[in-house]
Amino acid sequence: MIKPVGSDVLQPLFVYDTDEHHELLHEAEAMPSVIVSSQAAGNAVMMGGGYFTPLKGFMTVGDAMGCAENMKMSDGSFFPVPVLCLLEDVDDIRGAKRIALRDPNVEGNPILAVMDVNTIEEINDTQMQVMTERVYGTLDMEHPGVNTFNSQGRFAVSGPIKVLSFSYFQNDFPDTFRTAVEIRNEIQERGWKTIVSFQTRNPMHRAHEELCKMAMDSVDADGVVVHMLLGKLKPGDIPAPVRDAAIRKMAELYFPPNTVMITGYGFDMLYAGPREAVLHAYFRQNMGSTHFIIGRDHAGVGDYYGAFDAQTIFKSEVPENALEIAIFEADHTAYSKKLNRVVMMRDAPDHTKEDFVLLSGTKVREMLGQGIAPPPEFSRPEVAEILMNYYQSLGK
């Protein structure tokens, strides 16, 4: 099985030992505490589940700058983006050696993790600008990721953490949320050797389904892990339970048995395009995948990134041998009227746009809201029905 990044074994930071967990939770109630940002909470959940192996906690500003500038921490270890615990106010924790991190996304702000405080540093404007520009490729505050990153505060608290909760993800998505540990275990139980991962924050239409099948055929994979983002999205995105139902229906009806694992992870989308694509590959290797599909404008938003920047970054910027996972480079995929099947556009050079069944996201949402199913070449009818019910419920 493929090794985790920079380690022989997965290193989840969740406290699985019941006695230690209970004792830490009890101790944490008396510790100085802070309510962290939603982004920091998502990062803690990812560290808890082993996805960020071998990271031990939140980074210092020096490590974060190294990750932003050349994807390396000060000790030389690879990580593609800064993982910071940013706060607006640190008066309540100054001088504390150990603090409790509280969850911003659950009522009552329960304890999410315990941190041993190594440093509390104030980030200056130049450092913030460098990190923003290198990770997001822009300083435009209209970019949702840039806005979020720059709105959490300027005090960075670093140190190793012990995770005591998977936030709302485990309770709200019990059938879908999985840690990297759990996914690795299931891959082993299924006997899979070659595994493709597919990232999605949207329901899967016909083109996505066929893209997964193309990738599986190309690398002779045993199965595909459909890995859904369950964290915060941008306004207008379809809620996770609706996506989940649509994807499960597609897998049940249109894939051979024992070839699809439907899973999800708790993380807030960065919309950082190429850099986020590298992060996505990083934690897919940690969860046991050997191949990862990256298509056009992966993890992008608006017009901030070139169509294939998320593929070229692996050749141009990722340090050599940093990752073992192989990237399956995909083009836009659509149904060809000429060939009567779904193809990658690059594989049909003799086609014009009129030869494909192409619908914009806006047009699809309009159709679904009016109770009109998109053509079967675009969306499986059973999937369209689930989405139609959702969009029509919004108008009631």
Strand partners, 344: 333
d(CA 309, CA 361): 22
d(CA 310, CA 271): 11
d(CA 378, CA 395): 24
Q: Which of 98, 154, 190, 201 is catalytic?
A: 201
Residue 201 designated active-site: yes
- State in Å, rounded, how far the first CA of the chain is from the last one: 50
Q: Which amino acid is at 194?
A: T
Q: Which of 202, 206, 248, 340 is catalytic?
A: 202
d(CA 263, CA 184): 12
CA distances for 322 relative to 39, 87, 195, 318, 328, angstroms: 25, 31, 19, 7, 17
Largest CA distance in the chain: 69
CA distances for 169 relative to 15, 50, 152, 176, 361, angstroms: 17, 15, 22, 9, 27
Residue 124 designated active-site: no
With CA atoms as reference, report the closest residue to 82 among 167, 27, 150, 178.
150
d(CA 143, CA 134): 14
Residue 134 phi, psi (nearest 5): -70, -35
CA distances for 21 relative to 104, 113, 234, angstroms: 21, 10, 34
Strand partners, 87: 155
**Which residues participate in catalysis according to the annotation?**
201-202
